[in-house]
Amino acid sequence: MLDELNRDLDAASAEADRLIAEAAGLDELRRAESRLTGKTGALGRLLAGIGRLPAEQRGPAGKAINARKTEILARFAEARARLEAAGAGKAAPGEQTFDPSLPGAVIPRGSVHPVTAVQWEVEEIMARLGFVVVGGPELETDYYNFEALNIPAMHPARDMQDTFWLTDKLLLRTHTSPCQIRAMERLGPPLRVIAPGRVFRYETEDASHANTFHQLEGLLIDRNISIANLIAVMKLILAEVFRREVKVRLRPGFFPFVEPGFELDMQCGICGGGGCPTCKRSGWVEILPCGMVHPNVLRAGGIDPHAYTGFAFGMGLTRLAMMRYGVRDIRGLNSGDLRAVVPPERRRGFAIVEK
């Protein structure tokens, strides 16, 4: 029986030499090795047949088979090393290669746009303060975009918002403030709403201005609301968004739908107040125009200005995203390629697809 076993082992060695000589690539060599040394191969069948041998022959037979298997595996390993050194590991033209032991390809995943991420975060912050989200059409009427907001026809304030006029006296909304009028008409006081959305201005684009951008309007109406409430809410929003105390300044500003009106600026997050193209070398970025709701606007919404007061603010979500993520040029946010605008150290959380 042992003589027959030795003949089978010699045959397996000869087959190994033949397979190694015929292998044209690493994949073919691996398949040959698996076929010869696997459970269904010549060596595998010999190992499986040890149990049928007499007890006194099983030990020597097992040692002989394992020794020959070790020798054959060493020859396959040497052949692999030669092929790898010669560059034969590359697939031949038209040859399909697949190695199940290698990790799969990493497919870049999409991520939330910076402006959307900031909008969701502000909505969550305002929800904790009791505000609800409302919406409105992007294609607006002259009444809701201007008239109801104390901006009648021929009012000079209309020059502040260059407008995309369409047919049938319709326009692309220049702000999300029309949502406030619709909310007052529908819900009545007391009222706490925010209206995020896309707005349009016919103006020249630069590093901090675009003809299409995103805003978030806020409105709070109740009894005995004052400017102190306005400032407190504005500072809370910025501190929550930036996760730190933000240096701000409040200066007078004119907006027909509020009286008095203010411009709330924050220290530029790009240059730290030193001056850069984003802040027009001033060190400050206008972020929150705000003020106390004008009595005429309350009347347009069906609310008695003698019984209720309130404040409104318009937050530039696009500019807020620029400050939050260090985006130097607003035009990049609509380009689809964040590599051009988001510094590498601020890309965490966004899928930047390197080409």
Tell me the pLDDT of the chain (355 aa) as tens digits. Answer: 667 777 877 888 888 888 888 887 788 888 888 878 777 777 777 777 777 777 777 788 778 888 888 888 888 888 888 877 776 445 555 555 667 777 887 777 777 888 888 899 899 999 998 999 999 998 999 899 888 998 887 766 666 557 888 888 888 998 899 999 999 999 999 999 999 998 888 776 665 566 778 889 999 999 999 989 988 888 888 888 778 887 888 889 888 899 999 988 888 877 878 888 878 888 888 878 899 999 999 999 999 999 999 999 988 888 778 777 777 776 667 666 656 555 555 555 554 444 3
Taking 3-state DSSP, the helix, strand and coil percentages for the chain, each rounded to the nearest 5, stand at 45, 20, 40
Structural domains of the chain, with CATH:
2-85 (no CATH), 114-346 (3.30.930.10)
Query: In this predicted structure, what is the pLDDT of residue 298?
Result: 94
pLDDT of 100? 76
Backbone angles phi, psi at 34, to 5 degrees: -65, -40
pLDDT of res. 336: 62
Model pTM score:
0.60
Closest CA to 288 of 328, 337, 239, 335: 239
Provide the token pair at 172. Answer: 């692309």
Cross-strand bridge partners of residue 310 = 221
d(CA 350, CA 346): 9
CA of 199: how far to CAs of 7, 213, 271, 299, in Å? Answer: 86, 6, 27, 25
The DSSP secondary structure of 222-278, one letter per residue, reads: ETT--HHHHHHHHHHHHHHHHTSPPPEEEEE---TTEEEEEEEEEE-TTTTTS--TT
Q: Give the number of other Cβ atoms within 10 Å of residue 291's Cβ.
A: 23
Give the per-residue pLDDT at 233: 87
97: closest CA among 29, 40, 36, 38? 29
Instruction: Name which of 74, 115, 22 is nearest 317 in CA terms.
Output: 115
Whole-angstrom distance, CA of residue 156 vs CA of residue 283:
29
Closest CA to 240 of 118, 116, 113: 118
